[in-house]
Amino acid sequence: MTESTKQAAPVADAAPATGRRDVRALLQERWQWLAAAALVAAVCFAPFQLVPFRVFQLTMVLVYAVALLGLNLLVGHAGQISLGHGAFFAVGAYTSAILLHDHGLPHLVTLPFAAALAFVLGLGLGVPALRLRGLYLALVTLAIAIFLVPLIKRFESVTGGAMGLTLEKPVPPAWTGLAEDQWLYFLALAVTALAFASVYGLLRSRVGRALHAIRDNEAAAEVMGVKLSFYKTLAFAWSAMLAGVAGCVYTWTIAFVAPDSFTVTLSITLLAGLVVGGLGSMAGPVLGGLFVVYVPSLSQDINKGAPGVVFGLLIIVVMLVAPTGLAGLAGRAARSTRKVLQKERRNA
């Protein structure tokens, strides 16, 4: 943000103060705030304009965005890899489902439990990550994702086995006047906003810098006093916790959990979605969430077999055209637009 104001400020000073130019200068200086305000308005307004199925889709975008936010912390920021994040997602989903189904807890109360359990398991997975890297770490995390589905099926009495568990959706409180789908959407939106705010705070602190340092140069990071074991295990734990939170909101949204929703494919879809969205950027997880939800659903209209093919092809295209993901592409577009605007102003 400081960067943009710094760049825009001299231009604004040089401009003669005519009405039309003032608006433009304002646009240039504050475009990020204006864009953010417009986005917030659109995001809050959307569920009142769309049919329930579309609102449901947007809710799912938020669910995936939170899961990808967690994965991004680990992969994009700390430079580790996980092919098993679907497992943490599933742990969050099942924790919530079992607490709702067997213990009748209110929906919101299940969230801290889901988060805590995923956190602890992530901490556990963080331990092998201290010794393994690259492909080896990818394989170990993949093993966890493979392991999980049979495990869920085995403990049928708790998990409902292959049949899964069918649950109730959260009931909107009367004072809100919201429909079920809208209420769910706003619950997911609140969780997403909190998760993003928290990760943003984390990344702009010494913790975020330590993670980035580990990603860029482990040896130098350690010499500078970064305790590798601490940051790696906690990056895994936080990453898993966010995936668990996403899984919990998933359970609220779908009101049904079954093992076949959490196969290895989910883990790989998450990683693919993140890479397409943009590793290491704040917008990446949101764009990745949009990608994961809308590409299969839009391509379904073409042909029944199309989603897989289109999804795969689009990943290849994005990687070729924008190796930094959609977020990188958007950033490039924004920068060149700003340049063009500035040039135009100077010529005017």
Partner 1 sequence: MLEVADLTVRFGGITALDGVGFSVARGEMVGLIGPNGAGKTTLFNCLTRRYDADEGTAGYEDIDLLRAAPHAIAALGIARTFQNLGLFPALSVRDNVLVGAHHQGRAGFLGAGLWLPNVRREEARLRAAADAVLDRLELTKVADHPAAGLPFGTLKRVELARALAVEPRLLLLDEPVNGLSSGEVEEFAALVREIRQDLDITVVVVEHHMGFVMSICDRVVCLDFGRKIAEGSPDEVQRDPAVIEAYLGTAA
All residues at 6 or more sequence positions from 150 whose CB lies less than 8 Å from its CB, including other chains:
none
d(CA 282, CA 263): 27
Phi-psi bin for 223: left (phi > 0), alpha (psi -120 to 50), beta?
alpha
User: Looking at 209, 268, 330, 342, which residue binds partner 1 (CB under 8 A)?
Assistant: 209
Amino acid at 314: L
| Binding-residue pattern over the window 185 to 204 for partner 1, x denoting contact by CB under 8 A | ------------xxx-xx-x
C-beta closer to partner 1: residue 273 or 280 = 280
User: Looking at 224, 302, 317, 333, which residue binds partner 1 (CB under 8 A)?
Assistant: 224
| Binding-residue pattern over the window 48 to 77 for partner 1, x denoting contact by CB under 8 A | ------------------------------
User: Looking at 146, 228, 268, 329, which residue binds partner 1 (CB under 8 A)?
Assistant: 228
C-beta closer to partner 1: residue 156 or 222 = 222
Indicate the helix (H) or strand (E) that contains 67. Answer: helix 52-72
d(CA 76, CA 57): 26
Instruction: Count the alpha carbons within 13 Å of 257 in the hemisphere toward its beta carbon.
Output: 31
Q: How far is the CB of 129 from partner 1 (least distance, A)?
A: 16
Q: What is the chain's alpha carbon radius of gyration, rounded to the nearest angstrom?
A: 22
Residues within window 269-298 making contact with partner 1, judged by CB under 8 A: 280
**3-class DSSP state for residue 17?**
coil
d(CA 340, CA 345): 9
- 210 binds partner 1, rule: CB under 8 A: yes
- 221 binds partner 1, rule: CB under 8 A: yes
User: Looking at 131, 227, 335, 346, which residue binds partner 1 (CB under 8 A)?
Assistant: 227
- 34 binds partner 1, rule: CB under 8 A: no
Q: How far is the CB of 16 from partner 1 (least distance, A)?
A: 29
**3-class DSSP state for residue 178?**
coil
Which residues contact partner 1 by CB under 8 A? Answer: 2-3, 197-199, 201-202, 204-210, 212-213, 215-217, 219-228, 234, 238, 280
